[in-house]
Amino acid sequence: MILNELVSYEVLRLLWWALLGVLLIGFALTDGFDMGVGALLPFVAKTDTERRQTINTIGPVWEGNQVWFILGGGAIFAAWPPLYAVSFSGFYLAMFLILAALILRPVAFKYRSKRPDPRWRSTWDWALFIGGFVPALLFGVAVGNVLLGVPFHLTPDLMPMYDGSALGKLFGLLRPFALLAGLVSVAMLLMHGAAWLSLKADGAVRDRARRIGTIAGMVAAVGYALAGLWLAVGIDGYAFTHAVAHDGPSNPLMNSVAREGSWLSAYVDRPWIVAAPLFGFVGIAMAVRGLRAGRDVSTLLWSKLGIFGIVSSVGLTMFPFILPSTVDPNSSLTVWDSSSSHMTLFVMLVGAAFFMPLILAYTAWVYKVLWGKVTQDDVTANGDTLY
């Protein structure tokens, strides 16, 4: 009773849904440009000095940026345990590929410059490419599958069960709409990586990044528009068929869900959420304009706005659904029936209120200290101390 007077279960669920979105968007905004730079590496840098210049734009910050991914996974585990169990089980092989690609990054950073052999360094350069491209693609594919719905159901004791074999689950993710979402994700992060290189690099690397980033931004905008049209005319949404207790027990089977209408009906019910896709399109358009005009800081900020709009539009469009089921809509996980307990969410909120400002302050300080461009002269003059 006392806890409910401090902050209700309904409010805590809503807050942790929003905080999960903040963590995932934070990951896309920070580690997103790391992945983008990695995927751009073979194309923007032609010589070893240029490749070292490119790598050193992200070398000091990539590890801190990846913390947002860990925080997001931890938040899912602690605040939304059914979501963690269902998604990590169903996407197991895809997550394994993502983690394997991400593990290549620190190994490549540490080992690339250990030997001067061009073949050795080229191998690790392609490892950095894989570490950027594969997660960018598969994260987008995962988002596309969440919008389509996932083939799972819950048993009466709430155990998640999936249809098909392990390989079938992996290749079953490669549906046309999901692949389009993957393309949007890759193009978006290539644009973001190019915006970062425009800010942090100079010379030929910067110029090539601006050209490629301009094309990637246009592809991202067109793909995002096509995905929205596809959602409007070709993909059914999900909806509750009766009133839901927002402070009820975490048991999806107690609610009744039907697959009907369109996801985009959310924009009729909550017109204000149209701001998210508008941010997406405006941010991308202005980032492309900035890349073409040769702007630095504003281009990166516009790119961040575009990513914020695209990622947030998914969560706002689906709300209150988090992971829909194509096999049994009643098993779909939503904000109101798949969270941890009232006490758990409250204790976690207190911890987040203390640690999140510290993380943000430290991150801001790091970027302030590391402000400035990485030039080819820096690389050649500090060969023993840089990557």
Q: Quick count: other Cβ atoms within 10 Å of Cβ 180?
A: 18
For residue 18, tell me if it sits in a domain: no
For residue 387, tell me if it sits in a domain: no
Domains of the chain: total: 1
DSSP 339-381: ---HHHHHHHHHHHHHHHHHHHHHHHHHHHHT-S---HHHHHH
Successive 10-residue mean pLDDT values, the chain, 387 residues: 75 95 92 94 92 91 86 90 86 88 90 88 93 95 93 88 67 88 97 96 93 97 96 90 87 88 90 96 97 92 97 95 92 93 93 89 87 83 69
For residue 2, tell me if it sits in a domain: no
Q: CA–CA separation, 365 vs 347, rounded Å?
A: 28
Give the model's pLDDT for residue 57.
92
Please state whether beta strands 321-323 and 257-262 pair in parallel, antiparallel, or not at all (unpaired).
Answer: unpaired
Tally DSSP H helices, then E strands, for the chain: 16, 6
Give the model's pLDDT for residue 119.
92
Length of the chain: 387
- Tokens (6 digits) for 129: 């490419």
Q: CA–CA separation, 137 vs 173, rounded Å?
A: 12
For residue 16, tell me if it sits in a domain: no
For residue 13, tell me if it sits in a domain: no
Beta carbons of 159 and 248 less than 8 angstroms apart:
no
Give the model's pLDDT for residue 2.
64
Kindly give, in sequence order, each residue whose CB lies less than 8 Å from that of residue 56, ignoring residues fewer than 6 positions away.
374, 378, 379, 386, 387
Q: CA–CA separation, 210 vs 290, rounded Å?
A: 9
Give the CA distances from residue 344 to residues 25, 70, 116, 261, 358, in Å, rounded to whole numbers and listed in that order: 23, 19, 52, 35, 22
Enclosing domain of residue 202: 24-381
Q: Left, alpha or beta for 325 (phi > 0: left; psi -120 to 50: alpha)?
A: beta
| CA-based end-to-end distance of the chain | 56
Residue 180: closest CA among 132, 122, 229, 214: 229
For residue 5, tell me if it sits in a domain: no
For residue 3, tell me if it sits in a domain: no
Q: CA–CA separation, 272 vs 252, rounded Å?
A: 28
Q: Is 372 exposed, middle or buried (0-12, 13-18, 19+ CB in 10 A)?
A: exposed
Give the model's pLDDT for residue 299.
95
Instruction: Provide the whole-model pTM.
Output: 0.93
For residue 146, tell me if it sits in a domain: yes
Q: CA–CA separation, 64 vs 155, rounded Å?
A: 40
